[in-house]
Amino acid sequence: MSVKIVLFFTFIVLQINQGFSETVTLQISDGDIVGQVGTTVRQNITYYSFRGIPYAEPPVGDLRFASPVKNSPWNGTLNATYDRSECPQYSSDDLLGTTLYGAEDCLYINVYTPDVNENFPSVVWIYGGAFMTGNSSFASFGPDYFLEQGIVFVSFNYRLGILGFLSTEDEACPGNWGIKDQVLALQWVQENIAYFGGDPGNVTIFGESAGAVSVSLLMQTNMTEGLFHRAIMNSGTTLNLWGLNTRAAATATLVSTNMGIITTNKTTMINELRKVDVEKVMNVGSNTAWTLFLTNGLRGLPYAPTIEPNIEGALYTNPSDAALSAGLFHKVPVLMGFNSEEAVSAGSVPHYIDIYLNYYGLIVGFLTPYSLTSDEIKRFICGQDIKLNFFGDGTLGNRENLIKFVSADQFNRPIRRAAGDMANYTDVYFYEFGYQGNVSVQGEEREFDGTGHAEDVYYLFNIQNSTNYTNTDLYVSETMVLLWSNFIKYGKPTPFEDERLNNTIWEPVKSDSDDFTYLSINQSVTLAANPKESDWQYYQNAWRKYYDGTAEDTTY
C-alpha cells in the first residue's frame, strides 16, 4: 500500500496549545486529512498526530442500539487536529446522573505516528471506565512514551452505558454495541494503518480494566480473525465477574417501564427507546440500572458485555470459562496481570456505606461468586466460609479486610485463572505491578498498603494534569514502557538481555508446571512464582467443594 504525504507545513498559532505547532496533510482511504506535528515530552522526538477521524456513521436514529456502520468518505480535507466528542456519559463520581457529557456522534479514531513513511508496529488502545465512562482524548492518554519507542499509537471512542450495552438478550437487541464498535475500529486499522507508517501485520490490542475485558472478549470472537497479532490486558479479563452483565434483559425491561414504554414486545420496546431524547435515555437508564445493581453489586456491572443468542451478527455467544479452557480464542501472545492491591480505593469508602456492607454480612450468599452455583444452600454455606476467611468475626466494614476480599474475588482470582487457561495454548507473560509511587489513588498520603486499580496507567501514558513524578517514578515508568513496547514489537517483553532490566528474561507461564511464573514490577523487576497464592488456593478449594454448573452465568 502506497503512502502519500503532502510535504508542506503551515506554521500556525494553535487555539488549543497541546505541544503542536505545525500542520500536515495525509491521504487515506476515505480522503485527505490534516493533522498536526508535535514533539514528545521526554525525548523531544517529532511525531504526527491525526485526531477525530470518523470510523463509523453516527450511531443515532435507527443505528442506536444497533451494530455500527462504516463511515462514508468525505469531500475536501478533513480537519483531524482536535479530539471529537466523547460518547454520552456521566463523570465517574456522578454515575447516578446529574450532568451529561458527550454526544451520540462520537465514533472517531486517533492515530499518532513517528513517521508516515515507515513500517512500524502498531498498538490500539482501548480505555477502561467500567463500560460507563472514558474517552480516547490526547489529554487522557498521551502516547508520547510509546512513540519514543518507534510505535504507531491508535485510540478511539466506543459507546458506553445504556447506549453501548443495552440488551434484551434476544434478536430484538442482542447487545454488545460498544464491543462491536471496537471491532469496526480494528477493521479500520487494517485498512488504513499503512498510510500512517504502521504495519497492518503487526498490531497489538491493549486495554486496562474494562478495556482489558474488551481485549479478552475480542480474543474470543470470530469477528476479529486476523485483525490483531498480540494482546495486552491490564487488570481485567472476561472471567472477572464485573465484566459480564448477568441481568441485561431485566435491566432493559425495567428501563423501558420507567420511561413509560409499556409493552411485552421487545422489538417495539427498542424502537420506542430509539425515539427518546438521549439525555432522558441516559438519565433513566443509569438510575434504573444502578438501582438494580445495588441489590447485589458483586454480580456484575449494570451495563457490560453480555452473552448473545447465536444469531447472525452475534459477537459473543460462548461462556468465557468454557471458551478459554477449550482454547476457543485467537492464540496470539498475551501480556497480562494485575496491580498488587486492586481494590485499595475501597479503603476510602465513606463509613455511611457500612449499612450497605452489613447487608452482605446478613445475606452472606451474595459473597459467593455468582457463577459458582445456583443452589441457595450451597451459596449460603460458601458465603459463610468466605466471610470467615476474609473478615473473621468482624464486620464487612473493616477496610483492610474489605480491600483484600474485593481484590481477591473481583480481580486476582479470575485474572490468574484466565492466564492459566490461555497458557495451555499460547505464550502468556504475567505480571504483578506493586510499585507505590507518587501517583496514588489514595491521594498524597497512602492510608492502606498496596498499588490500586489504574495506578499503572500513569506510568504508561503522558496524562495531563497528573501528579509530579519523582526520579524513581520516572525510572519505573521507563521500565514499564520498555517492557510493554518490546512485547508490542516482538511478542516478547524481554527478547534479549538488557541492563535496564537487570538482564532479566521474563518467562511465560508454564502450563505444565506447579509454579505460576510472573514478573514482579516494583523499583526493580524480578521473576517470581505464584502471585497471591493463599487467596488463589482458597478459591480453588471453594470451586472444588461447591461448583456444580447450575448457575446461569458460567463466568469464573
pLDDT band at 3 (very low <50, low <70, confident <90, very high): very low
CA distances from 317 to 61, 300, 311, 314, 448 (A): 27, 18, 9, 7, 40
Question: Are 309 and 399 in a shared domain?
Answer: no
Domain's final residue, options 273, 297, 325: 325
Note whether residue 145 is domain-resident: yes
Whether residue 477 lies in the annotated active site? no
Query: Mind listing the pLDDT tens digit for each residue in 262-318?
Result: 999 999 999 999 999 999 999 999 999 888 888 888 888 989 999 999 999 999 999
Note whether residue 551 is domain-resident: no
Note whether residue 552 is domain-resident: no
Q: What is the pLDDT of residue 2?
A: 35
pLDDT band at 338 (very low <50, low <70, confident <90, very high): very high
> Which stretches within 259-328 are classed as H helix?
266-273, 278-293, 320-325
Note whether residue 412 is domain-resident: yes
- CATH code: domain of residue 401: 3.40.50.1820
Note whether residue 555 is domain-resident: no
Note whether residue 556 is domain-resident: no
Question: Residue 432: which H helix or E strand, with range?
Answer: strand 428-433
Domain's final residue, options 325, 344, 364: 325
Note whether residue 554 is domain-resident: no
Q: What is the pLDDT of residue 16?
A: 37
Note whether residue 256 is domain-resident: yes
Query: Mind listing the pLDDT tens digit for each residue in 30-70?
Result: 999 999 999 999 999 999 999 999 999 999 999 999 999 99
Question: Are 367 and 434 in a shared domain?
Answer: yes
Question: Are 212 and 350 in a shared domain?
Answer: no
Question: Are 250 and 339 in a shared domain?
Answer: no
Q: pTM for the whole thing?
A: 0.94
Question: Are 310 and 393 in a shared domain?
Answer: no
Q: Quote the number of domains for the chain.
A: 2
Domain's final residue, options 294, 325, 356: 325
Question: Are 302 and 340 in a shared domain?
Answer: no
Q: Which of 209, 286, 320, 345 is catalytic?
A: 209
Beta bridge partners of 503: none
Higher pLDDT, 550 or 83: 83
Within 8 A by CB and 6+ apart from 212, the residues are 126, 128, 232, 233, 234, 235, 236, 237, 336
Question: Are 392 and 446 in a shared domain?
Answer: yes
Give the three-class secondary structure for 465: coil
Give the domain range for residue 174.
4-325
Residue 347 has pLDDT above 90, yes or no: no
For 16, half-sphere exposure in the C-beta direction (CA atoms, 13 angstrom radius) is 7
Question: Are 408 and 277 in a shared domain?
Answer: no
CA distance 530 to 555: 22
Question: Are 369 and 399 in a shared domain?
Answer: yes
Question: Are 77 and 190 in a shared domain?
Answer: yes
Sign of CA dihedral 375, 376, 379, 380: negative
